[in-house]
Structures are given as C-alpha cells and as structure tokens.
Structure 1
C-alpha cells in the first residue's frame, strides 16, 4: 500500500474507532438522566446532569496535562487506555453506586482530555498540508455517525415504554459497554505511517512521523520545559484581543452542546403528552441531531464550498437555525421538563405538543451546532496557525468549562431560562465572531484567505 493510502486508511480507522466508541458513550450521555430517574435504590443518589458537569469541569482542567501524557505513553495507547475509562463509566449504569458513579465521572474528564489530544496528534501525523482539511472532514463525518446507531437502538428498544425497568437498563448498558470496548480495540489497527524522505535541512521537517520520534531526540528535561512553555503560550493567547472575542462563541458552543447532548433528550422523555413512546423519542431525537451534524459537516467541512463567501454567513445560518429551534422548543415543550420527576411533567406547553415539531427541532439543533463548530475550528486554525495547539487548548478549555456550568444549572433552571441564556449568548457570540472575521479579512485580503 502506498504511503498516502496507508495514512488515509489510518484516518478512516481512527474515525471508525471514535464512531463505535461514541455510539456507546454519546448514547449513554443522552439517556443517563432519564435512566437515573427510573432507578429506585437507596444506594444511589446521583444526578446525570451533575455527573456530566463534573466530566466537563475536569476535562477543562486536564487539557493542561494531556500533552505530557501523550509524550510519555504515545497517542495509540493513550486512545486505548482513555477508551477503557469511557467503557468503565458506561458499565457503572449496569448497577449504579453513587461513589463509583462520581469517581468515574472525574476519571472520564481526565481521559477525555487525553483522548482528544491523542486524536489531534494522530490526525496530524497522518496528514499533510494538502490533506488535513479532507482528513478532518472524513473524521468528523465518521464520528457523527455515532449519533445514528446507538440512538436507533434506544428508539427500537424503548419506543413503547413509559418506565425503564432494571432489566431494560441492564440490557442497554451491557450492550453499550461491549460496543465501547470494540471501538477501543479498533485503535490497535492504526499503523505507523511510513517515514517521509529525509529533507536536506533538518529544519524543514515540520512534523515527526510518530510522536515517539520526537521523544527520541528530545531529552525528558526538554519535554518538561516544552510543556511549561506551551502552558505559558496558552495563557498569552487567551489574553489576546482575538481570543477574548472568540471566547464568547466558544462559550456558546459549550452551552448548546450541553443542551442537545443531555438536556433536550431528557425533556422529550419527560413529556407525558407524547404518550408511551416518549422514552423512545430520546433515541429518535439523537438520530436526527446526527443527521443535522453530518449534513452540516458535509456542507461546511468536507465539501468546503462556503469559504468563498467567508465564515460569517455560515455562523449566521447557525444562529438563525438555533433561534428557530429554541423558539419551537419553547412553544412545544413544558417548562419543567428538564427537572421533572421520573413519571414526567403534567404541565402544558404553549401549543399542543407535537412529536413532529420536537424531531424537527432535533435536526435543527444538530445542523446549527455543525455550523458553529466547523467555523470556530476554521478561524482558530487560520488566526493561530503557528500556535494551533495552545490555541485549540484555549478553545476546548472555554467550551468545556461552560458546558460544565450548563450541566450544573440544568438541575435547577426551568426550560425557558435555559433557552434564554443560550439565545443571549448566541447573539453576542455571533457578533464577536463577526468582528474577528472582519478584522482577519481586512488584514489578509489575498489569495491565502480564499484557500482556507
């Protein structure tokens, strides 16, 4: 196999591994609050919202140590061992205990930082300047297919159930645990890329063919100093005007991530007006969120056709899409649905609740999320090309910490207040994104901009 074919195969295997693993984990996050409400036990007093808040809080802080872990263990083993922690978290729901539930929430937060850092490292190792956009699009699209399969299983298993029994819970989470483990072992199929021809000048070599190559030539003391330098550079970048402005859309992406990945499915499951199939709608909603994500990723990532018009129209489309979705959700879903007890909400929405409207909103949430995320990734890579690692660390830090805050307040705030917070921050974040984009255009009105 040619070197180009091998690296492309590695990217596909990486995407398939994430697809299989997140088929399990994303489904777990989507249903866990609903499952916990149905679990009657004096031994367990956990909250799915609180668990996810802990995960994102620890994830945010752990971005500081993840590069050091990758340097010592290597990206492939980092993916595997992080995936094992994800599998253990899913397995907790087979028979939940409060202590193990929250302990693994902390461990998953650490594992998530290592997992995503390793993913970025492997994607870079297996890409060139001319293929990084294509490979990122392939990975994104493959991973988003995870929203299909697990949620389809939940829909088929729960579509006629008004209460989740212990047997239902155990069957689902045993299945998800096995699926997650399969995804972990797929990472071992990733092959070491063939080395590039040795350049005439060592300074021309921009990337090692494997992370271990860089370790061989850099002493351990230098690794420590590089880690410290990267941390300092992240702090410096966080204080720049561009990053401060972008921190608002970063924060918005964290809030809406919380809403579509955990809160909205819980709301649908709590709507007694949807009948006995309300719990099954959680899975169907996840499928349609995935459709929106994949469609948006295809249009704005793989195809990459919208960049001729700049990033602002795509972000504006994402804002409009989300505003429409939030308004329809406000009308269609009862205000106490996020915090309703296991038996569901008895409150009335502003209109007669409609399953069709609810599922349209799921699609819009996924489409809008892909609009924001593809363009945020694009502008960070464009503005901070020479400092991409610390810049993306700042991005993930802000996104994950606001996601954690949102999961915390989701335990207490009624639906309309959660929607209002997202609307206000979405408007403000879109404006600040426009400011940064206009400044970038004014500084670089040349052919390089059109090629990004």
Structure 2
C-alpha cells in the first residue's frame, strides 16, 4: 500500500470514529487490521490459484500461464472498478490543502517539506528503525528464506505452498492485531509479540537448523513460514495504526516516510544478498529488530510520560 492509501485509510477511520463517537485508536486499528488482512490474503489465495491452474502444466505450458494471467487480469480489473466507488473523505483542513496544492509541482514541494519536517520530530526518529526493519524482513522472506530454506527442503514446487502458509498466517494475524489495537501501549505490546515470533525463526536458522528428510524436513520450513507471516501481519497493521494515531494531522508525510525507509531497506537486501552469507544476513536481521524494539519502547515511554505529565 502506498502512502496515499495509508492517508485515505486513516482519514476514513478518523471520519468514522468522529461520526459514530468511537475511540479513534480502536477504529484506526480495526480499519488497518481489516485492510491488511484482506491485502495479505492475496499471498494465500494467489498461490492456491497458481497451483490449481498450473497443476497439470509441469513444464509451465503457454496455455496454463495464459489462463493464469487472464485470472489475475480479471482480479485487477475488478479491483480497479471497485476503487472507482471510493468516497473522498474531506474535512476543512483537507479542503484548504486541496486549494493550496493546485498543481502537481506544488504538491511535490509541499510533500517534500512535510517529509523533511518530520525528520526533526523525535517520535519519527524513534519509529524509523521499525520502518527499516519491516522492509528488511519482507525482503528476507521473499529473497533469502525461499532460496536458502524452502527450496532446499521442499524443492522449487514447494515454494508456493510455503508462501501460502505465510500468507494465511499473515492475513489472520493482521485481522487479530487490528482488533486488539487501542493505542500506543497496545501497539508496542503487539509489535513485540510479532518481533519475538520472527526472532525465534532467525535464531533457529542461525544456531540449530539443517535440512532434514521425512515429515520434519517438510514441517520445519512451514512452521518458519507461519512464524514469519505472524510477524509481517503484525508489523503491517501496527505501523499503519501507529502513524494514524501519532501523525493524524500529517498522514501523507508520515506514510511517505514509511515507504521511503521500507523501499530503501528492501533495496539493500536485494543488492547485498548475493555478496554476504545467510548467517551474516540473519545477524543483520536480529540486530535490526533489537534496534527497532528499543526505539518503539522509548517512544512509548516518551509519549505516555508527555500524556500523563501535569500541565501547568
């Protein structure tokens, strides 16, 4: 989801909370949980569709891949049509912004200033390590985990099944995490749980994993995929909810920061992946997640202290 999607989702959640006199944090969490749950389900459904369409085309025949592309094109078309029915959520502040940003150039200038300004905000600086880690773990799953863990154990044909498991747990945990979100303390607790799930996988591979035969050889990569999916679902939902709660007056700049750091860290993994060992990559992941957790813990302490401190 791009930064405009995050902005729209936050605006819709805030509008719904205001119209129905509901707690903003809870509504933002629920909206993000439902969105990311549906979004993550594409990994599960897409892999199942691929397996169903290509199951008799072991060599990847033209007819099988053509049918697969037609199915995906139909899904894209349906999504595009449904997007046309989205209602624009506007308030006075947004109308003023729309009037001020009369062309694309001025919009880019305004967005650039917003992004730069947020870099001076201590809250954003404390969240940036979590942004970067969220990109690192996504790139690790698709670039390193599938190549170094799934393929040797299950073969190339097993990658789709492992990623379907990953997508299923990603979607389920996105929905669950969204329902449990109420504010910054709950976000910190949920993110810590997702981080622990992923750290278990990293340490497992780093310390005591080797490819084995039999049922366990098949089961281990699927368990790892499930744990990694849990962490990804938690991170996607909670990062979006966190930005919606803390930066609701500048959501475009905040979500732009998220995409910048995510994309930069994903690019780093794909560039350095061929030149470092799996063990070195895992150490980078563990260090990254520790730094990210320290940052969000300090953020929670700082925000809660500011919230509960007596005002003169």
- Which of 280, 300, 310 does residue 157 from structure 2 map onto? 280
Aligned to 2:111: 230
- Answering whether residue 43 of structure 2 is matched by residue 151 of structure 1, we say no
For residues 315 and 121 of structure 1, what CA distance do their matches in structure 2 show?
Answer: 21
Q: Which moved more, 1:434-443 or 1:175-184?
A: 175-184
Aligned to 2:171: 294
Residue correspondence of structure 1 range 319-330 to structure 2 within 5 A: 319-330=195-206
Residue correspondence of structure 1 range 53-452 to structure 2 within 5 A: 116-120=2-6, 123=9, 128-130=15-17, 132-155=28-51, 167-168=59-60, 170=62, 173-186=65-78, 187-192=80-85, 205-207=92-94, 220=102, 224-268=105-149, 270-271=151-152, 274=153, 277-301=154-178, 303-305=179-181, 307=183, 310-330=186-206, 349=210, 354-445=217-308
The answer (yes or no) to whether the contact 1:316–1:430 under 8 Å persists in 2 is: yes
For residues 305 and 376 of structure 1, what CA distance do their matches in structure 2 show?
Answer: 11
- Cα RMSD after superposing both structures: 3.3
For residues 252 and 372 of structure 1, what CA distance do their matches in structure 2 show?
Answer: 9
For residues 257 and 304 of structure 1, what CA distance do their matches in structure 2 show?
Answer: 23
The answer (yes or no) to whether the contact 1:237–1:390 under 8 Å persists in 2 is: yes
- Quickly say closer, same or farther: Cα 1:182–1:218, change in 2 above 3 A: farther
Q: Secondary structure, in 3 states, of the residue corresponding to 2:274?
A: coil
Shift of 1:253: 0.9
For residues 360 and 133 of structure 1, what CA distance do their matches in structure 2 show?
Answer: 27
For residues 199 and 158 of structure 2, what CA distance do their matches in structure 1 show?
Answer: 22
TM-score, normalization: structure 1? 0.57
- Quickly say closer, same or farther: Cα 1:387–1:157, change in 2 above 3 A: same
- Quickly say closer, same or farther: Cα 1:269–1:159, change in 2 above 3 A: farther
Q: Secondary structure, in 3 states, of the residue corresponding to 2:156?
A: helix
Shift of 1:257: 0.7
Aligned length: 296
The answer (yes or no) to whether the contact 1:159–1:278 under 8 Å persists in 2 is: no
TM-score, normalization: structure 2? 0.80
Q: Name structure 1 gaps, 5 residues minimum.
A: 1-114, 197-202, 334-348, 447-452
Shift of 1:288: 1.3
For residues 108 and 270 of structure 2, what CA distance do their matches in structure 1 show?
Answer: 30
Shift of 1:298: 1.6
- Quickly say closer, same or farther: Cα 1:435–1:369, change in 2 above 3 A: same
Q: Secondary structure, in 3 states, of the residue corresponding to 2:127?
A: helix
Q: Which has the higher contact order (CA 8 A, sep 6+)?
A: 2
Q: Secondary structure, in 3 states, of the residue corresponding to 2:275?
A: coil
Aligned to 1:17: none
Return the structure number with greater helix share. 2
For residues 116 and 411 of structure 1, what CA distance do their matches in structure 2 show?
Answer: 28
Q: Name structure 2 gaps, 5 residues minimum.
A: 18-26
- Quickly say closer, same or farther: Cα 1:195–1:241, change in 2 above 3 A: closer
